Amino acid sequence: MKPRLIVSYVLLVLIGVACFYPALYTILSSFREGNSLFSDHLIPEKWTLQHYKDLFLNNRADRYIPYTKWYLNTLYVATISMVLGTLLQLLTAYAFSRFRFKGRKQMLTIVLILGMFPGFLSIMAIFVILKQLNLLDTHAALILVYSAGAALGMFIAKGFFDTIPKSLEEAARIDGASHMTVFTRVILPLSRPILTYISLTTFAGAWVDFIFARSILRTPEKWTLAVGLWNLVDSYNSTEFTLFAAGCVLIAIPITALFMYTSRFLVDGLTAGANKG
């Protein structure tokens, strides 16, 4: 074996361990008895499902943790935000990538600038506006906040559309396809990788956000997982690490599974073979 390859493999193993270790530690801790962060052995000496039971059955009499409810809330908010956000972002990216209309350059610059204005800088303003609309403490408000600005994150999608050869579109045009047909029959089928990417990021964004969720949602029954878990950690700190670990595992499972399942789309050949001469 060449020395270059040996060095590469050593590096790969090291990075791999670094990537995997925190997750492994948390997963194993969630099955460990007791509640402490500290332990002499990585692998639990006694395995238990107690922490998961505690979360779902809410049978810790000493603390109020409606975990199942949070879970459903989060799923609901994240799914709807994903659909709306993806739609908005896709439309924007497509319009900017494929059309040369008046004011396009200026609007691109505006999108660029606005996209960099961190949403939560204006959280105070958003809060007051939502209060006026009587939308505070509702999931609808949260969904609006998550999806309304989605268009601003369109640069990656636009970059993707830019790489789809124009010749494909022109071919369809010559065959008499309308704007809408070109979009749905030519562009969309080719956009699966970027569609996956956008949906995943918007879903994950809604799933993990806690800044907006914490300021908009007030009653514990309406909380999302992030707010709930945050409160769990904030109130009990590291003294309930195993319970926290179980909560983490359950939060990470759907996102991670979804991600692993779809990640192959992200790195598949994007337009491989589409533009044959």
Q: Do residues 147 and 85 make contact, with C-beta atoms less than 8 angstroms apart? A: yes
Q: Is 211 in the site for other proteins (CB under 8 A)?
A: yes
Question: Could you say which of 14, 72, 129, 188 contacts other proteins (CB under 8 A)?
Answer: 129
Residue 255 makes contact with other proteins by CB under 8 A: yes
**Of 82, 142, 143, 145, the one binding other proteins by CB under 8 A:** 145
Q: Is residue 189 near other proteins by the rule CB under 8 A?
A: no
**Does 38 help bind other proteins (rule: CB under 8 A)?**
yes
| Complex with other proteins: residue 235 or 256, whichever CB lies closer | 256
Q: Rule CB under 8 A: choose which of 120, 184, 188, 235 binds other proteins.
A: 120
Size of residue set near other proteins by CB under 8 A: 97
CA distance 110 to 2: 51
Contacts to other proteins from residues 76-105, by CB under 8 A: 87-89, 91-92, 94-96, 98-99, 101-102, 104
Contact present, 78 and 207 (Cβ < 8 Å): yes
Rounded to the nearest whole angstrom, what is the least distance from the CB of residue 50 to other proteins in the complex?
19
Torsion of CA 64, 120, 86, 79, to 10 degrees: 10
Please give the full DSSP string across 56-75, using - where no structure is assigned.
Answer: HH---TTS---HHHHHHHHH
Question: Contact at 8 Å (CB) between 96 and 178?
Answer: no
The alpha-carbon radius of gyration of the chain (Å, integer) is: 23
| Residue ranges in 45-74 that form contacts with other proteins under rule CB under 8 A | none
147 binds other proteins (CB under 8 A): yes
* Short-list 226, 244, 212, CA closest to 74: 226
